[in-house]
Amino acid sequence: YVMEGRRFHLVNPQFQKLTGYSEEELLEMDAWGLLPPEDREVERENASRVLRGEPAAPYEHRVVTKQGETRWVMENVVSIPYNGGRAALGNLVDITDRKRAEQRVRECEERYRRLMELANDAVLILDAETGAVLDCNRKTEDLLGIPVHDVMGMHHTQLHPQEEAEQYQKLFQASVQSGKGTTTNSVICRRDGRRLWADVTTSVHDVGGRKIVQAVLRDVTERKNAEEELRRANECLEQRVAERTRELQRSNEELERFAYVASHDLQEPLRAVASYVQLLERRCKGKLDAEAEDFITLAREAAERMRKMINDLLAYSRLGTEGRVFKPTRCSVVMDYVLVNLRAAIQESGAVITYDALPTVMGDAFQLAQLLQNLLGNAIKFRRDEPPRVHVSAERRGDEWVFAVRDNGIGIDPEFFDRIFVIFQRLHTREEYPGTGIGLAVCKKIVERHGGRIWVDAAPGNGSVFYFTLPVKGIEQS
């Protein structure tokens, strides 16, 4: 959507579908009519921040549809020039299903905690790497005769006789390395000196990239019931990871589709604005004072910049959806193609571009050419007074190729290393260096589509080295 004040000026079909209102209804209504009263203050603060030119992170809130249904959305808003002032360009991603999934996950976590506390067995959560106790239930205190706060941080071998500690450590390590659970009949030492026999069942899990071991110390007669309860709890935790992964993938796909549709729909009103500005410029030429003519020129140039940004956004949104099938691609041939495309810029700047023998990789030749052309084009554009010198090399490191594009240009301050890969982010004025600021964002998306990473090493005045990686594995299998 495009909104000025609290009125919509442009809504796309997906926005209409989400809210249940027609385009005519949306353009006539107060935008806050879509919001529950308790969410309006947050919306007002974010809108004010955006229109002041301050960055606003995507945020979640609710909307009320025409049918009275409340749905959760993720909203991303930016400020754009519009009708001689500022307007909000925003997109909503329906995250209702994700919110419901998160609620189910919370309920599962609460059930898991209740199961731990209501279980008739002692349950411990251990760090797979150190063997230390991370969490346990009250039954552990009953079993060991040790307060829960004292159990935390204990090493698992301290639960067993000292003379058998090495044996239990080996069993623990074998279980972690195999990733498989074990069931053992073990001797447990209470604080008062008594020794107990307990069935100890362990299972290894990956939670948030961290391996944990769940240990259940139980009576044989209650084993079946406890195993079934814990199995359900584990399935719930695994479902949490799977659901979040699917929701994230769907959200990314929806965001790309929205970027394409929104950009496409913005073309027509922008063309109208540009046409009227040009008509005004022709009809009023020589009739206005210098300041008014400057205003018209600024409006025309702003419309042209907006057109370029929309076209860039369209191209950016297509990178992940319209890429070609990966095939064996000779990077040296791609480089030759790129140098032909850049011939005019090379001759104009006096640039000297060299490259080593480059490998063959599995990839989209067109996108790899776009990647190298953007990096080389930047090296030529952001040059010092002396002619640019650029060198491209590649080195194999393990299962990936590490490419380097090295130049002798103006360099980059390290504090901007992350910012330069964000779409439409610029470090210089348009008067200093033309462009929309999308080139490196395109590079990042292309590299990530190919399963690689991209980063930069530079310092102001000392040139830059842009690195990116491409996998080796695909070409070897081919």
User: Does residue 58 register a pLDDT over 80?
Assistant: yes
Same fold yes or no, 1-94 and 327-477: no
**Cα→Cα distances 99→19, 37, 69, 210, 236, Å:** 18, 20, 15, 24, 16
Tell me if 21 sits within 8 A of 68, measured CB to CB: no
Sheet bearing 122-127, strands edge to edge: 133-136, 122-127, 210-218, 195-207, 182-189
Provide the residue ranges of all domains of the chain, joining segments of one domain with +.
Answer: 1-94, 121-218, 327-477
281-330: pLDDT as tens digits: 888 877 778 888 888 887 877 777 666 666 666 666 666 655 678 889 99
Q: How far is CA 139 from the centre of its chain?
A: 42
Structurally, at CATH architecture level, domain 121-218 sits in: 2-Layer Sandwich (3.30)
d(CA 24, CA 16): 10
Tell me if 463 sits within 8 A of 473, measured CB to CB: no
142-164: pLDDT as tens digits: 888 899 889 999 999 998 888 98
Compute the half-sphere exposure of residue 234: CA atoms within 13 Å on the CB side of its CA. Answer: 17
d(CA 252, CA 178): 35
- Confidence at residue 477, expressed as pLDDT on a 0 to 100 scale: 47
pTM, whole model, 2 decimals? 0.41
Please state which of the four CATH numbers 3.30.450.40, 3.40.190.170, 3.30.565.10, 3.40.640.10 is assigned to the domain occupying 327-477: 3.30.565.10
Q: What is the dihedral of CA 240, 242, 247, 249, to 10 degrees?
A: 150
Q: In this structure, which topology does domain 1-94 adopt according to CATH?
A: Beta-Lactamase (3.30.450)
377-393: pLDDT as tens digits: 989 988 888 899 999 99
Q: What is the dihedral of CA 310, 311, 314, 315, to 10 degrees?
A: -140
User: Does residue 221 register a pLDDT over 50?
Assistant: no
Q: How far is CA 97 from the centre of its chain?
A: 19
